[in-house]
Amino acid sequence: MNILTHNPPVNKPSTNTWRRFKRDRAAIFGTIVLLTIVIAVIFGPFIYTTPIDKIDFARSAAPPSWQHLFGTNDLGQDQLARILYGGRISLTVAVAAMAVAVSLGTLVGAIAGFYGGIIDNGLMRLTDLFLALPQLPLLLLIVYLFRDSIRAVAGPELGIFLLVVLIIGCFNWMSVARLVRGNFLKLREMEFVSAAKALGAKPQRLIWIHLFPNVASIIIVAATLAVGNAIITESTLSFLGLGFPPDVPTWGRMLFDAQNYLTSAPHMAVFPGLAIFLTVLSINYIGDGLRDALDPKRR
């Protein structure tokens, strides 16, 4: 007599995470919107081939039409082409600044949480100092002081890109550091860490092999939200005229160019503003969805 045994299917953590994530309608909406924007800015300029720098004063500040779907700016340049091209720059700056902020915050938080004591106290006081600084005035001051020198070294576009990325990243790592530190303080007292220590694991191995994977979900959520914050900060700098040069059409720069035409040609501000709004909103929705999906209390 054959005895048939039935093994129940094993649910993988990634499968459970995706199942919880897709239940969040706002997160799914944000994912669809963000993917649409990313695909549009990557492949759109290859399909919509209107030049971004073609000047036509005869069609200056023209409203949306079949020829120019998003209208034109004050120089008669096509708004849709500039939004698609500028989206590449804005998103690249945001992702690069996020990488800087998350890397720095993770490093500071991991060292502070693992070692504790005087190291923890010193690093947290440094974090408090950065949190107490008035961010926007300081950002403006640093960009104003160093933009000319870095332009001379790395060129007008690459120089401003590096400066903006480093500044945004170096002023947005504090929340990540606090999150990582708090979780490290809790995890380092658990039994699996004690067992690893008893087996002779070195501090570097304990941090990156045993502790870091347990805070990866928190870092992913923080990184997602940091992208939205970086987009807002870059747009603010560009809107204030301290970002990329005028011939580089980032979304913030387009808003800066539109500020004198808000009544006569509102489309110049509406479409880049809408691009910023939808991108940041969708990223925040995704971040909230990931936070709920990766929450261990919901597993």
Per-residue pLDDT reduced to its tens digit, 176-224: 999 999 989 888 888 888 888 888 888 888 888 888 888 888 888 888 8
pLDDT (0 to 100) of residue 105: 93
Indicate the domain borders of the chain. 19-45+71-298
Q: Which residue type is seen at 28?
A: I
For the four alpha carbons of 129, 135, 137 and 138, in that order, the dihedral sign comes to positive
- Asked if residue 52 lies in contact with residue 89, where contact means CB atoms within 8 angstroms, the answer is no
Is the pLDDT reported for residue 172 higher than 60? yes
How far apart CA 111 and CA 33 sit, in angstroms, is: 37
pLDDT (0 to 100) of residue 6: 46
Q: Which residue type is seen at 238?
A: S
- List Cβ neighbours of 132 (8 Å cut-off, separation of 6 or more): none
Quote the DSSP letter at residue 4. Answer: -
β-partners of residue 72 are 78
pTM: 0.84
State the pLDDT confidence band at 1, using cuts at 50, 70 and 90.
very low
How far apart CA 77 and CA 68 sit, in angstroms, is: 9
Torsion of CA 168, 172, 177, 180, to 10 degrees: -100
State the pLDDT confidence band at 13, using cuts at 50, 70 and 90.
low
Is the pLDDT reported for residue 137 higher than 60? yes
Burial of 26 (0-12, 13-18, 19+ CB in 10 A): middle
CA atoms within a 13 Å half-sphere pointing along the CA-CB vector of 165: 20
- Asked if residue 160 lies in contact with residue 150, where contact means CB atoms within 8 angstroms, the answer is yes
pLDDT (0 to 100) of residue 147: 82
For the four alpha carbons of 171, 165, 136 and 144, in that order, the dihedral sign comes to positive
* Unique residue bearing structure tokens 């387009």: 254
Take residue 123 and report the two structure tokens written for it: 């690093």
pLDDT (0 to 100) of residue 5: 47
Q: What is the SS3 assignment for 262?
A: coil
Is the pLDDT reported for residue 293 higher than 90? no
How far apart CA 196 and CA 205 sit, in angstroms, is: 9
User: In percent, how much of the chain has pLDDT > 90?
Assistant: 27
Q: Tell the CATH topology of 19-45+71-298.
A: MetI-like fold (1.10.3720)
State the pLDDT confidence band at 12, using cuts at 50, 70 and 90.
low
Region at 127 (left for phi over 0; alpha for psi -120 to 50; beta for the rest) = alpha
How far apart CA 80 and CA 263 sit, in angstroms, is: 20
Is the pLDDT reported for residue 4 higher than 70? no
- The shares of helix, strand and coil residues in the chain, as percent rounded to the nearest 5, are 75, 0, 25
Mean pLDDT of 43-53: 88
Q: What is the mean pLDDT of the chain?
A: 85
